[in-house]
Chain A
Amino acid sequence: MKVSYKWVKEFIENFDEDIETVVEKLNETGLESTYEKFGNYIPNLTTVKILSIEKHPEKDNLLVCRATDGSKEYQVITAAKNVKEGDIVVLAKEGAVINGIEIKPVKFGSLTSEGMFLSFEELGIEIPSEGLFILGKDAPIGVDASKLLDLGEDYIIELEITPNRGDALSVRGLAREIAAIFGKKRTEKLPVVSILQENIPEIQVETDKLNRYRAVIVENVKVNVSPLDIQLKLIKSGQKPINNIVDITNFILLQEGQPLHAFDLDKLEGEIHIRQASEGEKIVALDGNEYTLNKNDIVIADDKKAVAIAGIIGGDNTKVDENTKNVLLEAANFDPSSVRKTAKRLGISTDSSYRFERGVDIENLPNAQDKAIELISSTAGGRAVGESDVHINVYKPKQVKLREKQIKRVLGAEIPKEKCSELLNRLEIPTEIVEDGTLSEIPAFRAYDLEREIDLVEEVGRLTGFNNLEETYPSISTENFNYPDYFKLEEKIRKFFISNGLTEVLTYTFSSEEDHQALGLPKPDIEIINYILKSQSLMRNNLAVSLINTLKENIKYGSKDLSVFETGTVFFDDHEEYRIGILLTGKFIDGYTFSKEKQQLNTTEKWDFLKVKGLINSFFEYIGIKNLNVNLPQLQFLNKYEAVKFLKGNTELGYIGKIHPKTAKNLEIPEDTYIGEFYLKYVSRDLKEPDHKPYIYDLIKEKEEIVYNEIPKFPSVKRDLAFEAEEDFSVGTLLDEIPKTCKLIKKVKLFDVYFLGNGRKSIAVSVEFNAGDRSLTDEEVNQMVEDLVNKLNEKFGLKLRK
């Protein structure tokens, strides 16, 4: 809400604080606000009355006007369409500077223009409007227009309220708040109106979403330009003046916070009904849009048709226009949540709906409406001839007690009950002192947010000023000062990959069905209903989709090499998981070649399967998970001949592999891209974690502590052995088997794999024997080697090569 500071000051007795202090205090006490100067003083502007308008003899689109400032006549040529004889407008005389251009007499064809009539925009006022600013008929002519319009004189306060402070959404409410902050008195001139009972509107209430409906018929109004004061206040609030009737309803809404609506009485047929809309009922609103309603929406209707969407916007069919003679002025109070639901569904927010949603003071309704009637009578003539007030939910003030000890418990400061009472009374919350605190009667304008003791603690606290409370330091009862195991593990993992040259990425957890389809992965379980982009409408069930998108983006940015990882969330119907995702492609050392005589060097290193697998082995070693098995992953997007799955026992811990060339081609990513995922932690949505298969985190928790083993006192004996095997025989099987055959074998190291042709290969290993407590003799070792060879021959048909 934007309002003029001058306007607010009209409502506070003897108040002239500077704007900066006022806005600072508003912020400190809970109303977020800013201010700016209203326009800038422009010299050489005057007000003039249009005497005559003629078409330009030579130029079709121009008008030649004669205007007077009361003593001097001007000939002004304008292209504006909205000017009429008798209008009062602002004239920029010779010497005025408008939008950086100095005004001088200018010739249009054979005629000279002695100045320029101004629009809002040319006056430096931000109002979306075409044409000239037509001032109210009461505006004096021949005066300094900048001064008359307060340009550079007034300030505009812009208020952004929290949802609980609907009471501040008016000049009156803001004045009440400022008066309380500064300990001043709010003033108000009460309206004096007499309403006859000649033509009483008939009201039928057919819904329970209405609290009060008061309709007043005003006859014989003259629709015209509003008086300058009303125009100016609306303009300062960023609103365009329309005509006196409409302007007065907007003016009262801003001043009192009570939305009003004026219907053209002669366009209404029969009685007024406040009812549910029928399913599919349509209405063209004042904004020109047609809205389709349903049973949950409340409308104002006559016997034949809906004439307004209750509390939100009026209908075009009954709007006040220049020919309107008689009006029905509505002041109502609707159920906030009903207005909210309808406004939200229809996607409209009006000044009216904004206030109803946040709660409007039901008790100020007649006061606000009477002020409007008073203004209509004084500016548009007319007589109030009939009133009907259906008051369904009469406000019953609630008593709320505030204990001194509760202030102390919450704020940590002693604020005596006398002080509390004073502060609350300043806020116009009638409060008396009782034995252990205060007792308040909550007024209707705060009915929506003051209900409990804690609400009053807040009122006292904010007016006292949070910045005036001195800091204290609680002693925190805690079991430890350490990270939980999971966070330590995650940190360790990040450190490992970062030190090994991988950069950490942070991708959106959103994805699309196409992302998953491209990898042959199932469609994710969790779908966003109201997504922003279709491509971000599913919660991913794996990290590969996100990492591939990262790669694609970086290819766009011109980089071919990428080594990245992420620890991120993936989603399933009944749980979530934290995973580590890895994507590696191209070089991990972008080096150079070096040649000198016989020395040939290339420092570049590229990812290949064994390096990738080595990285993962090294990762598991780093976090202390030993004795893993490998297997082939069943993933369509991987090249099954260069992919591996890691298992601990039967538990799958993750996979990594080279992308399938077909997938690479489809996705337009390099063929040497390696993708992996490792399953870090199960995240439960229930308070109690259900049973689930183990994740890396669970293995870490169960990990055995490392205990020191004595270093062998006697040297090991090494034997190099080469076995001949089928070409398809897996080397890993041999390496795993050898230590199992004999307790004294301490280490096996592969040193050569050689393909012999004829479908056979040679696998050479170095085997280390140690008995621990003594030296082994040659004979003993020979015997063990022989046993080993026999066992391998029995089990796998391997032969020792000579």
Chain B
Amino acid sequence: MQIKENIEALEKEYQEKLKNIKDLKQLQDIKTELLGKKGKITSLFKLLKEVPPEKKKEVGALINSVKAKFEDILKEFEKQLTEKELEEKLKKSKIDITLPGAWVSPGAPHPVTATLRYISDIFVSMGFKIEEGPEVELEEYNFDMLNIPKDHPAREMQDTFFINKKGYVLRTHTSPVQIRAMLKQKPPLAVIAPGKVYRKDLDPTHSPMFHQIEGLVVDENITFRDLKGILKIFLESVFGKNIPIRFRPSYFPFTEPSAEVDIGCTVCKGKGCRVCKNTGWLEILGCGMVDPNVFEAVGIDTEKYTGFAFGLGIERITMLKYQIPDIRLLFSNDMRFNLQFKGI
């Protein structure tokens, strides 16, 4: 049986060849060699003519089974090689995942605006409405209607920038927004007024331009104790529950009684340090009950209404929060400073 031997030899030869196959190209060559039109298995069918008729069936079945066998083997090889080649291709274009990404990095918010926003949030959530006013302000609103008459020593507490526009100054505090709010709206009212203010002053803790937030609540039956309550909520939201708070009687022309509010030093926790000048306390804001003269100036009945007001410096709170030693850094716009505040 010549043909049977041939088949066996062929099978043996190709089983061997397939062992050394490396890629899909070689596989394709083998496929053509065996199963192509002139392929070795295809040619076997041509030899079938010479096989005696009684053997034809047997040999034919043999060739078919060899063909099927190789087809299966080749398919399996093809699958494996395809996968291998894909893997190699992916591997080749592999990226070093530790390379820096190529998208724009976000900018940094300014710590003062961030703090201003943060403080506004607390009051807005308590139901305060935001009011604003111009920075070039009527002297009348900035001083006179706030019970700071001309030649009063209190006008000197705030070194004013005077301008070439008669009757106006650069506002020295956000308090004139109180006047604006009360002229526009009848009580009850609860407003805060954030914004820029100006004083002729420049040193590590004073800047000629800075930011304040002013607060005002006017209604029937508003008392000093209510003022304490609102400020306690505020200060605890900013500096943490149980922060020590102390009210010291003070003087502001537009409030009476007036007080300055201290919190326990956040740096030394009250033990005494450079930041608190060894007092254990940090002055944080000024406040008081709206002076009847202010109510009279805006036409609010002092026998019906009472109110409280408070004002605080945003820069001071920003500096405490981020431990910034010099107020001038806040206005330096030095990127080595600003970029430290990414993500706040």
Contact = CB atoms under 8 A, between A and B. Distances in A.
Asked if chains A and B come from one complex, the reply is yes
Interface of A: 27-30, 32, 34, 162-165, 336-337, 340-341, 344, 357-358, 409-413, 452, 454-455, 457-458, 461-462, 466-467, 469-474, 476-484, 486-487, 491, 494, 497-510, 525-532, 536, 539, 550, 553-554, 557, 559, 562-565, 569, 571, 573, 575-576, 588-589, 591-592, 594, 603, 605, 683-685, 687
A469 B228 contact: yes
Contacts of B257: 410-411, 454, 457-458, 461-462, 466
Interface string B135-173: 111100000000000011110110001111100101000
Q: Which of A34, A470, A476 has the most CB of B within 10 A?
A: A476
Nearest to A335: B151
Contacts of B339: 503
Given A483-B124, A530-B161, A687-B180, A412 B107 contact: no
Contact of A472 (B124, B200, B226): B226
Interface in B78-106: 99-100, 102-106
A562 B247 CA distance: 45
Contact of B124 (A481, A563, A569): A481
Given A529-B162, A569-B196, A504 B113 contact: yes
Nearest to A359: B153
Nearest to A484: B130
Contacts of B230: 473-474
B161 A531 contact: yes
Given A466-B249, A504-B110, A554 B208 contact: no
Given A461-B249, A564-B333, A509 B163 contact: no
A801 to B, nearest CB: 37
Interface residues of B, number: 88
Given A526-B165, A559-B335, A30 B124 contact: no
A526 B163 contact: yes
Contacts of A502: 107
B134 A576 contact: yes
B134 A685 contact: yes
B151 A341 contact: yes
26 contacts: A358-B153, A410-B224, A412-B226, A413-B225, A461-B257, A466-B224, A466-B257, A466-B259, A474-B230, A476-B217, A498-B106, A503-B339, A508-B208, A509-B196, A509-B209, A526-B163, A526-B164, A528-B161, A531-B161, A562-B335, A563-B107, A571-B136, A589-B104, A683-B134, A685-B168, A687-B183
Contacts of B330: 506
A501 B331 contact: no
A536 B103 contact: no
Contacts of A358: 153
Contacts of A527: 163-164
A30 B248 contact: yes
Nearest to A473: B229
Nearest to A478: B127
Contacts of B237: none
Given A510-B209, A529-B161, A530-B162, 7 more contacts: A413-B225, A467-B247, A500-B104, A508-B208, A527-B163, A576-B136, A685-B137
Given A30-B250, A452-B292, A469 B338 contact: no
B3 to A, nearest CB: 52
Contacts of A575: 134
Interface of B: 99-100, 102-110, 112-113, 117, 120, 124-130, 132, 134-138, 151-154, 156-157, 161-165, 168, 170, 180, 183-184, 188, 190, 196, 200, 202, 208-209, 217, 219, 221-226, 228-230, 232-233, 246-251, 256-259, 279, 289, 291-292, 306, 330-336, 338-339
Q: Which of B162, B225, B330 has the most CB of A within 10 A?
A: B225
B244 to A, nearest CB: 10
Given A527-B164, A603-B100, A503 B229 contact: no
A413 B223 CA distance: 9
B190 A458 contact: no
Q: Which 4 A-B pairs have the closest CB atoms?
A: A412-B223, A30-B249, A162-B251, A163-B153
Given A479-B129, A504-B113, A594 B104 contact: no
Contact of B104 (A457, A462, A588): A588
B177 to A, nearest CB: 11
Contacts of B106: 498-501
A528 B163 contact: yes
A407 B335 CA distance: 53
A411 B292 contact: no
Contacts, number: 253
B104 A605 contact: yes
A548 B154 CA distance: 38
Given A472-B229, A484-B129, A507 B184 contact: no
Nearest to A344: B156
Contact of A591 (B102, B126, B156, B200): B102
Nearest to A30: B249
Nearest to B262: A27
Contact of A526 (B124, B136, B180, B258): B136
A647 B32 CA distance: 71
Contacts of B151: 337, 340-341
Given A509-B135, A532-B202, A573-B165, A458 B335 contact: no
Given A27-B248, A532-B200, A553 B332 contact: yes
B335 A506 contact: no
A501 B342 CA distance: 10
A509 B331 CA distance: 11
B249 A462 contact: yes
Contacts of A340: 151, 153, 156
Contacts of B102: 589, 591, 603
B289 A564 contact: no
A128 B245 CA distance: 39
A164 B180 contact: no
B333 A506 contact: yes
Contact of A454 (B120, B168, B291, B335): B291
Contact of A497 (B107, B233, B289): B107
B208 A536 contact: yes
Contacts of B219: 474, 477
A88 to B, nearest CB: 37
A291 to B, nearest CB: 20
A481 B228 contact: no
Given A340-B151, A410-B289, A467-B247, A501 B105 contact: yes
Nearest to B104: A501
Contact of B223 (A163, A411, A486, A557): A411
B226 A569 contact: no
B270 to A, nearest CB: 13
A685 B142 CA distance: 12
Contacts of B107: 497-498, 500-504, 563-565
Contacts of A484: 129-130
Contacts of B103: 589
A366 B60 CA distance: 146
B333 A576 contact: no
B64 to A, nearest CB: 48
Nearest to B223: A412
Contacts of A563: 107
A528 B248 contact: no
Contact of A483 (B104, B130, B256, B335): B130
A452 B291 CA distance: 11
A411 B224 contact: yes
B113 A458 contact: no
A483 B124 CA distance: 7
Contacts of A357: 153
B114 to A, nearest CB: 9
Contacts of A458: 249, 256-258
Contacts of A573: 165
B83 to A, nearest CB: 23
Contact of A481 (B109, B125, B168, B332): B125
A462 to B, nearest CB: 4
Nearest to B222: A474
